Amino acid sequence: MVETKSNYTLIDGKKVSADIKAEITQRVAERKAQNKKIPHLAIILVGDDGASQTYVDNKVKSCKSVGFHYTMMRFADTISEEKLMKHIDHVNNDDDVDGFIVQLPLPPHISVEKITEKIRSDKDVDGFTNQNFGSIISKNPLLMPATPFGVMELLRRYNVQTEGKHAVVIGASRIAGAPLSMMLTEQGHATVTICHKYTKDLASYTRAADILLTAVGRPGLVTGDMVKEGAVVIDIGTTRVEGPEYPKGWAIKGDVDFDAVAPKASLITPVPGGVGPMTIASLLLNTLKATEFRYP
């Protein structure tokens, strides 16, 4: 009989994000007591995509829970790029708004890059602008890309050693994989391999990973045979899959086949309850930082 050992640690992103939110709530209360400006986040949502609506609702709920002010700005998916740019300009110049995000995806007639670059980088609390992307390699970065920052925070709080380790990142998007790879190198001192859609024989890389991080958005991409015994596995995928077998009619799935991979892992993030809540915690932290920067 072959015995399989199965004692992995679940990385509880929900708990860590709740801890971070408690720290933020405390700092907001202190600012309030000192008559300092309360952080104000604005959220721009274009169209009525169901998944986007859920994510945005989570962000609004989180703002309320830590005591931030917030503004929701909603536009029809027929809005022109030019008009949307004008609204962004307005928010850029609105002194009461400390940080804002434009929820993605945008309708195909609007250029994500053009919109992103229009956002003032000191209000870019998603950390999506080229300037904030580049600031990852600066000694004094201001606003870190939110999802990768959340991942680094999880690794820190679970004492995962990254220095000299081989980290393999699947996915090279500018909001997750690319900045994450840079942070693992710059702050984590890891040896980083970036895999993407042109990578041949993905498994040959993933099997060599001490830390495997995936940010693709394809449920079931990472199977048990692709993971080394004892690896740390971080699942950044969030795909909404629909089906009658789910109580709500849909469910959020990561990239990792959790049941097959978890028994081989030393630590692993679940989806939901892993990286997702950390993205929101980072967004709040960035909004607080942006406020403290403008009104110390």
Ligand X SMILES: Nc1nc(=O)c2c([nH]1)NC[C@@H]1CN(c3ccc(C(=O)N[C@@H](CCC(=O)O)C(=O)O)cc3)C=[N+]21
Residues taking part in catalysis: 59, 103, 126
Q: How many whole angstroms separate alpha carbon 88 and alpha carbon 110?
A: 13
Span of 33-41, 53-61, 76-84, 206-214 interacting with ligand X by CB under 6 A: 53-61
- CB of 175 vs ligand X, minimal distance in Å: 7
Does 146 engage in binding with ligand X (CB under 6 A)? yes
Give the residue with the Cβ less far from ligand X, 206 or 238.
238
Residue 275 near residue 239 (C-beta atoms within 8 A): no
Q: How many whole angstroms separate alpha carbon 202 and alpha carbon 251?
A: 26
Residue 246 near residue 174 (C-beta atoms within 8 A): no
Span of 180-188, 211-219, 225-233, 276-284 interacting with ligand X by CB under 6 A: 276-284
Does 276 engage in binding with ligand X (CB under 6 A)? yes
Give the residue with the Cβ less far from ligand X, 31 or 289.
289
Q: For the beta carbon of residue 1, count every other beta carbon within 10 angstroms.
A: 3
Give the residue with the Cβ less far from ligand X, 63 or 190.
63
Does 272 engage in binding with ligand X (CB under 6 A)? yes
Does 252 engage in binding with ligand X (CB under 6 A)? yes
Give the residue with the Cβ less far from ligand X, 150 or 205.
150
Of 129, 135, 214, 279, the one binding ligand X by CB under 6 A: 279
Q: For the beta carbon of residue 48, count every other beta carbon within 10 angstroms.
A: 10
- CB of 214 vs ligand X, minimal distance in Å: 14
* Distances 145 to 31, 191, 277, 286 between C-alpha atoms, Å: 25, 20, 15, 9
Site for ligand X in 91-130 (CB under 6 A): 101-104, 126
CA contacts within 13 A on the Cβ side of 139:
0
- CB of 141 vs ligand X, minimal distance in Å: 18
Give the residue with the Cβ less far from ligand X, 142 or 202.
142
Locate the DSSP E strands across the chain.
9-10, 40-46, 69-75, 99-102, 166-170, 191-195, 211-214, 232-235, 239-242, 250-253, 267-268
Span of 18-26, 86-94, 182-190, 274-282 interacting with ligand X by CB under 6 A: 274-282
Q: Which of 122, 140, 127 is nearest to 179 (CA)?
A: 127
Per-position x/- string for 55-84, each x denoting binding to ligand X as judged by CB under 6 A, each - no binding: x--x--------------------------
Q: How many whole angstroms separate alpha carbon 141 and alpha carbon 123?
A: 14
The string of DSSP letters for 183-239 reads: HHHHTT--EEEEE-TT-SSHHHHHTT-SEEEE-S--TT-B-GGGS-TT-EEEE---E
The site for ligand X (CB under 6 A) is made up of 54-55, 58, 101-104, 126, 146, 238, 252, 271-273, 276-277, 279-280
Annotated binding site: 171-173, 238
Annotated binding site for NADP(+): 171-173, 238
